[in-house]
Structure 1
Amino acid sequence: MTRSILQTAATNSNSGTYPATVDVTREVSFLTNNIVCTMSFGKKCNEDELGGRVFKEALDELTALSGGFNYRDCIPLLGRLDLQGLRRKQTELTKIFHVSLERIVDEHVQRRKNCSDLESENFVDVLLSLSEDESMEIKITQNHIKNVIFDLLVAGADTSGATLEWAMSELLRNSCAMKRAQEELDSFVGKNQLVRESDLPHLLYLQAVVKETLRLYPSAPLLLPHQSMEHSTIGGYEIPDRTQILVNAWAIGRDPVTWEERSQGVQA
């Protein structure tokens, strides 16, 4: 991502654009999407591979659609009318995802047929291997594989990108914290080296920055709806069985009773 930002800045400078501007949100989004795509099916989700541009735009549109206002949330009866066209749009996006994921799985199936010894396996390869295992109690189908990959892409890319952006913002706000993180990286990694996975156990302060960012800016401020299985009493509150529960993770992470003065931001 850093190289991409520097390249964009250099391009803008050469074209006479001063000061050079960079869309960090876009760069972070491409970074996290490429990481998730590479782990999932072995290729970057960029503009010239696997229809990556269309797929990425569809993912962004689905995210905006799921987080937008829906009349049905307030007046359930209006859900049948689809006044906002949300159901129609969701159907269109589903077709795009189906075509893209079908192509990805088919490519992996053909590659496995043509290559007896795969140099490197990704998550789709692992799932295909499990689908071929006759000893599995539950048979894994290609539909299962497509749904799992879809969940990874939707849940893994944007959430990671948002967390990375918030971490960068907090470090920019707190120069002392950023300096300490840089000193740790210089000490254990070096100024001219990229961070390797083997370095991570030594980067304790950087880990603390990530955890603090997740506390202050959780990817899902309201966790997915839960339902109580039986009558319970929590903190003096009676909760009947089959009650829908929404957990406010954002409020829990900023409760001044628990976190005191550290509820305002990343500290050095």
Structure 2
Amino acid sequence: MDFVIIVSILFSYILIRATFFVFGVGRPKNLPPGPTLLPIIGNLHLLGDQPHQSLAKLAETHGPIMSLQLGQITTLVISSATAAKEVLQKQDLAFSTRHVPDALNACSHASHSVAWLPVCTEWRTLRRILNSNIFSNNSLEANECLRSKKVEELIAYCRKASVSNDYVDIGRAAFRTSLNLLSNTIFSKDVIDPYEDSGKEFKEVITSIMVEAGKPNLVDFFPVLKKIDPQGNRRRMSHYCGKVLKIFEELIKERLKMGRLKHDDLLDVCLNNIQDNPNENNHTHMEILFLDLFSAGTDTTSSTLEWAMAEVLHNPIVMKKAKEELEVVIGKGKMVKENDVGRLPYLSCIVKETLRLHPPVPLLLPRKVVKQVQLSGYTIPEGTKVLVNAWAIGRDPTIWDDSLVFNPQSFLESGRDVRGQDFDLIPFGAGRRICPGLPLAIRVVPVMLGSLLNNFDWSLDTNIQDKALDMSEKFGITLSKANPLCVVPIPLN
């Protein structure tokens, strides 16, 4: 009975506030244009199950700087390269704070995460640890042999499938490779068998974390419902995060039992940092940092590789050109090394074109305005949530010729890159909150893709042929393929 009373009071409160808001009472002046509001829900009914697509369609009517009212939350949607440059570069500091989805408060994730912390001392420390020990040029070069070994294991797994004429789930295989690559960088060991079709549960947990973080949640639109968690998003996220953090806890305990054995991995760096700067939150920071790396570095990489393979299989001319380039430059049937990629411009263009059409995080990570700011003549009030639709920008017909067609050739002359300087191609974001894993991703994905194409011919699994090349999207924080790409590797003649 008490629960019913609480819900009734909350609903009445929301109804009164929202009704006043719709009729302009308390609504900020000089907001960017946007669709007409409905009582209580505002524009929530317009999102659908593919928000990146719905928001892109709305922007065609209301413009590249658009405001929506999603429940109680005023939301700014950026859908053009020009507006993105203003937000992510020219006024980067004003827009640098994250708008944290409620589900990310599970296990104190947002309070310790490099992805969700505001720009502060803790955030700078975590970024420095990542940049110095994983993503710097020196660190990346030092670990090149490790990455090469993991790609060789991927090819060995595919070769085993080719012998038995079995199919390979590209997303799952790439996930295992990325997972073990990161686990060796962090813990100096594999966490799953690289030669077997294992790791399904781990992949499902990581994918579930990304989906829960990205799916629409009533609490994110009506914060007054936070204590109730009516859809259970935070409870489910606590379950998924708790599973992964438990694994990390056991790995840390295992390392501590070894004493001062030197491994030269990220865990060593973090434990040494804790020893030098003891703090009760340091262990939590460390575990959340590892969770950030695994969730951001596995799902996004495997999804990008899966999309790239799907697009190449869908475009036989692209496949032919890629294979010809690989044969001339590398030699048929050989592994692609990282220092080969600079001599494989068409392969690099395939990766860029994949990231244009299928950015791993279609709306980037949401931001929040902590202090009222002016943007292109509009007033953006304090507390506004900011979404940058990288998916829409990558398909903008005013920028890209045949914007919906997969055409790697267009990058050969354009010189556009994904490193955050060309705002019509920002799959990793830009500015101070650019994805720290970008330097690793642009090394790993071309090598994995090139090695798969150069070592096998590929055919669709006949049992699921139609679904395999269905290019439907599954929306979460990461944009994955709705149906897994399952293809059969065929030994080269």
Q: Classify the TM-score, shorter chain.
A: 0.7 to 0.9
* Equivalent of 2:265 in 118, 122, 134: 122
* Counterpart residue number, 2:374: 232
State which of 142, 148, 158 in structure 2 corresponds to 1:5: 158
1:143 positional shift: 2.3
What letter matches 2:267 in structure 1? V
What is the aligned partner in structure 1 of residue 208 from structure 2?
61
Q: TM-score, normalised by structure 1?
A: 0.79
CA distance in 1 between partners of 2:362 and 2:192 (Å): 29
**Secondary structure, counterpart of 1:232 in structure 2:** strand
Q: How does 1:88-99 map to 2 (within 5 A)?
A: 88-99=235-246
Hey, what does 1:102 align to over in structure 2?
249
1:122-201 aligned within 5 A = 122-133=265-276, 141-201=282-342
Q: TM-score, normalised by structure 2?
A: 0.46
- Which residue of the partner structure matches residue 253 of structure 1? 394
The Cα offsets for residues 168-223 of structure 1, whole Å up to 9 and x where unpaired, read as: 11111222222222222223322242122222222222222112211111111111
Instruction: State the shift of 1:28 in Å.
Output: 2.3
SS in 2 for 1:58: helix
1-structure distance, mates of 2:172, 2:335:
22
Note the alpha carbon deviations across 1:146-181, whole angstroms, 9 max, x for none: 111110001110011111111111111222222222
Identify the structure with bigger relative contact order (alpha carbons < 8 Å, sequence gap 6+). Answer: 2
Out of 315, 338, 356, the position equivalent to 1:215 is 356
- Which letter does structure 2 place at the counterpart of 1:124? L
Query: Any idea what the Cα deviations from partners look like across 1:24-60, whole Å, max 9, x if unmatched?
Result: 3322222222222222222223169xx9665444323
Contact 1:131 1:139 in 2 (8 A): no
Report the 3-state secondary structure (helix = DSSP H, G, I; strand = E; otherwise coil) of the residue aligned with 1:245: strand
Percent identical residues: 34
Partner Cα distance (1:130, 1:77) in 2: 39
Equivalents in 1 of 2:320, 2:280: separation in Å? 52
CA contact (8 A) 1:32 1:157 kept: yes
More helix by share: 1
Alpha-carbon distance in 2 for matches of 1:140, 1:125? 17
Report the AA paired with residue 233 of structure 2: L
Provide the residue aligned with 2:346 in structure 1. 205
Superposition RMSD in Å:
3.0
Q: Which residue is equivalent to 2:430? A: none
The C-alpha deviation readout for 1:86-105, integer Å capped at 9, x for no partner, is: 33323323332232111222
Q: Residue 109 of structure 2 corresponds to which residue in structure 1? A: none
- The one-letter code of the counterpart of 1:126 is V
8 Å CA contact 2:356–2:394 kept in 1: the answer is yes
Q: Which runs of 5+ in 2 are unaligned?
A: 1-153, 410-493
Instruction: State the one-letter code of the partner of 1:232.
Output: Q
C-alpha distance in 2 between matches for 1:169 and 1:54 = 24
**SS of the counterpart of 1:260?**
coil
1:27 aligns with 2:180: no
Number of matched pairs: 252
The structure with more strand, counted as a fraction of residues: 2
Cα distance in 2 for residues equivalent to 1:248 and 1:81 = 30
Query: Contact conserved, 1:181 with 1:205, CA < 8 A, in 2?
Result: yes
In structure 2, relative to structure 1, the CA distance for the partners of 1:230 and 1:132 (3 Å cut) is same
| Cα distance in 2, alignment partners of residues 230 and 142 from structure 1 | 36
Match of 2:443 in 1: none
Rounded Cα–Cα distance in structure 1 between residues aligned with 2:316 and 2:200: 36
CA distance in 1, matches of 2:383, 2:223: 19
